[in-house]
Structure formats: structure tokens, C-alpha cells
């Protein structure tokens, strides 16, 4: 069973190696930023 992120997207081994459009790259970057911020607020 694949790992699932909180947002419901599957996590693949070797994540980040798939070719993404610039828009997808931006979305990924923003999601990571948002995740980091949320994580910092919890602790």
C-alpha cells in the first residue's frame, strides 16, 4: 500500500524524479513551504 500524504496524494519512492510542468513544480514548492510553516507552528 503506497504511503499517503495528508492531502491524499500518493507518495512514490524516488519522489521528485518524475518530470513536472513549471506549474506543478511551483505547486510542489509552495505545498512544501506551507507544510514546513504548519509544522513549525505545531511545535
pLDDT along the chain (43 residues), means of 10: 58 60 88 85 68
Residue 34: domain span:
5-41
Long-range contacts of 7-10 (CB under 8 A, 24+ apart): 7/31
Distance CA 3, CA 35 (A): 17
Domain count across the chain: 1
The pTM score is 0.44
Amino acid at each position: 500500500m503506497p504511503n499517503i500524504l495528508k492531502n491524499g496524494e500518493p507518495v512514490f519512492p524516488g519522489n521528485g524524479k518524475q518530470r513536472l510542468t513549471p506549474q506543478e513544480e511551483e505547486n510542489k514548492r509552495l505545498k512544501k513551504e506551507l507544510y514546513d510553516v504548519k509544522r513549525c507552528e505545531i511545535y
